[in-house]
């Protein structure tokens, strides 16, 4: 009897080990991670903000959340006119740091085409990870330790999905806003390319957003969709952004360029305007019979396409879409990779990697990466700033 029990336990533990090994292999093969160890500061709301809303056609309401769960929360509110340069700050609870910047409401649609031979640093899919984003830029010499712009006239390209799946969405978005202003003063550029998760939030879809922001909205006396609606400063700012840009011969799109784009005579500016006209329209599947349906499709569209990774595309098919816009190559995020990767004979650069989380750990541990394009060469940029030629 004792031997039977031991044999049974041996088989049981053996089966468990085999299943664990299969699980680990599956997790690793899918570029997945296991998150653990949440830091309670992730839902610290003291000094959270600013949350800025247009009260009228001429006034802004700037809000910071104060207080705590034990003593209660309240709002520090101030109203400003739109012609004022409004000084604000953004607090990051994890390390107690703050960055300052100025609000200006004169949004304009950015250029989508550049040809100046300046270096390009691209990163994507930060997913609300402020610390990983900030530290990568410091180590890559795009900014210094005081968060001042040090990339000269270079192009910092943010290839979508900087929102959701984390607790620092507000910090990340305001940091991008600050970087835009800082870069512009020195002749540099920050390009915030809209990805599908930015679209989710503009359309009031919060399935991937942290529960923290439901509480934030409640304290503000609003619904969660109000955080990025047409009366929200950040929401209005994002609706001016592009989904496709051509910088020094390289296309940047969160998803990619489907070969079917070769069937249409359309410009980059027209692609962006069609997408911009649909930023706040909730997606429902439609037959893809027009160029507008192709551009906004959640299968083939600019912000959604995954065909470089899950379709059996030929080199010619890949180049069709790229050639339509007279580009050398396309740089994309959206589809997770182990490392920044060059594909299709250098026509596609995939830069979506798993970045560290602000308030939790994950296994297998991964570090941020980006792509540097300079003087006709391509470099994988590691989290510590080290560069490896691709």
For 252-273, write each residue's pLDDT tens digit: 999 999 999 999 999 999 999 9
pLDDT at 27: 42
Angle at which helix 169-185 crosses helix 130-139, to 10 degrees, equals 30
Query: Could you give phi then psi for residue 249, rounded to 5 degrees?
Result: 85, 0
pTM for the complete prediction?
0.91
Give me the residues of the chain with pLDDT under 70, please. 1-37, 285, 362-365
Which runs of consecutive H residues, i.e. helices, occur in the chain?
A: 2-29, 130-139, 169-185, 196-202, 212-219, 233-238, 268-277, 291-296, 307-310, 315-324
Q: What pLDDT is attached to residue 28?
A: 45
Note the pLDDT tens digit of each residue in 74-94. Answer: 999 999 999 888 999 999 999
pLDDT of residue 15: 57
| Paired residues of 154 in beta bridges | none
SS3 state at 256: coil
Alpha carbons 68 and 5: distance in angstroms, whole number? 55
For 286, residues 6+ apart whose C-beta sits below 8 A from its C-beta are 293, 297
Q: Residue 209: what are its φ and ψ, rounded to 5°?
A: -80, 150
CB atoms within 10 A of CB 267: 13
Quote the radius of gyration of the chain (alpha carbons, Å). Answer: 22
CA 221, 224, 228: angle at the middle one, nearest 5? Answer: 105
């Amino acid at each position: 009897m004792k031997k039977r029990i031991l044999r049974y336990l041996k088989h049981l533990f053996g089966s468990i080990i085999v299943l664990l090994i299969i699980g680990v292999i599956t997790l690793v093969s899918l570029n997945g991670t296991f998150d653990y160890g949440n830091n309670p500061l992730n839902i610290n709301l003291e000094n959270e903000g600013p949350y800025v809303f247009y009260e009228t056609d001429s006034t802004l309401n700037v809000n910071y959340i104060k207080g705590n769960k034990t003593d209660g929360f309240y709002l520090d509110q101030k109203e400003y006119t739109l012609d004022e340069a409004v000084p604000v700050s953004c607090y990051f609870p994890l390390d107690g740091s703050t960055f300052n910047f100025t609000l200006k409401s004169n949004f304009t649609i950015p250029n989508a085409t550049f040809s100046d031979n300046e270096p390009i640093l691209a990163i994507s899919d930060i997913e609300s990870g402020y610390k990983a984003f900030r530290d990568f830029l410091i180590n890559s010499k795009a900014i210094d330790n005081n968060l001042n712009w040090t990339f000269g006239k270079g192009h910092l390209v943010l290839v979508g999905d900087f929102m959701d799946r984390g607790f620092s969405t507000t910090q990340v978005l305001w940091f991008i806003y600050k970087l835009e202003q800082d870069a512009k003063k020195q002749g540099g550029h920050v390009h915030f390319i809209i990805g599908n998760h930015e679209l989710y939030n503009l359309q009031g879809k919060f399935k991937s957003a942290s529960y923290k922001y439901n509480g934030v909205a409640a304290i503000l006396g609003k619904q969660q969709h109000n955080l990025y609606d047409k009366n929200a400063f950040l929401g209005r700012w994002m609706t001016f952004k592009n989904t496709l840009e051509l910088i020094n011969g390289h296309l940047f799109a969160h998803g990619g360029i489907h070969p079917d784009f070769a069937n249409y005579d359309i410009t980059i500016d027209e692609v962006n305007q069609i997408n911009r006209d649909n930023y706040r329209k909730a997606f429902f599947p439609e037959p893809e019979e027009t160029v507008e349906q192709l551009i906004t499709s959640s299968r083939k569209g600019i912000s959604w396409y995954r065909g470089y990774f899950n379709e059996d595309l030929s080199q010619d098919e890949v180049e069709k879409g790229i050639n339509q816009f007279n580009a050398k190559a396309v740089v994309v995020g959206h589809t997770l990779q182990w490392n920044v990767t060059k594909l299709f004979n250098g026509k596609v650069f995939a830069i979506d990697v798993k970045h560290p989380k602000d308030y939790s750990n994950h296994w297998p541990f991964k570090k941020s990466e980006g792509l540097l394009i300079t003087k006709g060469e391509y470099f994988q940029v590691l989290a510590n700033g080290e560069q490896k030629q691709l």
